[in-house]
Structure 1
Amino acid sequence: MPLLTRTFIKTALIYLTLALTLGIALALGITNGLFPVYIHLFVFGWLTQLIFGVVYWMFPKYSMQLPRGYEWLGWVTYGTLNIGLLLRAIAEPLQASKPNNLSGALLVVSAILQWLAGVVFIANTWHRVKEK
């Protein structure tokens, strides 16, 4: 299993643990206003990250020289996805509790980073979706 895949999957497992823990805290009423963070940790931290890692590993080879496409694009995807997700996890509760320009700007940056992760992932994966 490639290092990039292992990194995506282990990071996904960490996010799953965080999301489950936050879900328990929300259910017990220990914390309020973090439901959007909970959803993002599950969807982008756990599911998306797991899918990206498995796709990088298991999809058909691009070529003999670049079997998984450009690895550096995979790392760009990993970095932008996680920086965007962590920024969102910090900025979203701040914006919800006390809206201000900084947390609003951080939310925009986080959304752009997550969007960029998706675009880079698609660019690096598109050519691997083929008949044979």
Structure 2
Amino acid sequence: MAKTFLKIAAIYFTVGVLLGMTMGIMQDFRLASVHAHFNLLGWVSMALFGVIYHFYPKAADTSLAKTHFWLHNIGLPVMQIGLAIEIVSGNSVLLPVVIVSSLLVVVGVVLFTINLFLQLGSASVKQKKDISV
């Protein structure tokens, strides 16, 4: 799971950076919140999940981790696409979609937290070998 989280994080980072560059070129910053969410919930959070799961592999091997992964990666893009359409069109018809997809992300984060609390005491941190010369 750790590598999968990190790979997806890199994709979100690319999307966030490209969106930021596009907004800068066009001098239209209406999608700044979408850009920020892709970078924070996509890049930063997913990368942190991946690093944490790397150091706590028992936590990564749980059904909570897998459910968290899918909830986050279904909820985040749907939420951001819906939000972007709302911002650009000025129409709030997709508000229920944005709300439900936001809740998917929230539930995923809660599952991550529960998973860590359940696994942290029993998971061992990978030890780095000390090579002294």
Q: Shorter chain as normaliser: what TM range?
A: 0.7 to 0.9
Judge which range, 22-31 or 118-127, deviates more: 22-31
Q: Please report the TM-score for the alignment, with normalisation by the length of structure 1.
A: 0.82
Partner residue in 2 for 1:50: 47
Distance 2:13 2:60 in 1: 27
**1:68 is paired with a residue of what secondary structure?**
helix
Distance 2:85 2:21 in 1: 21
Whether the 8 Å contact between 1:80 and 1:116 is mirrored in structure 2 is: yes
Aligned residue identity for 2:98 = L
Structure 1 residue 98: Cα displacement: 2.7
Greater Rg by CA: 2
Residue among 110, 115, 123 paired with 2:114: 123
Q: CA RMSD in A?
A: 2.0
Partner residue in 2 for 1:36: 33
How many aligned positions are there? 122
Aligned residue identity for 1:110 = S
Distance 1:78 1:22, change over 3 A: same
Partner residue in 2 for 1:99: 91
Percent identity for Structure 1 against Structure 2:
26
**2:33 is paired with a residue of what secondary structure?**
helix
Distance 1:69 1:94, change over 3 A: closer
Query: Is structure 2 residue 101 aligned with structure 1 residue 110?
Result: yes
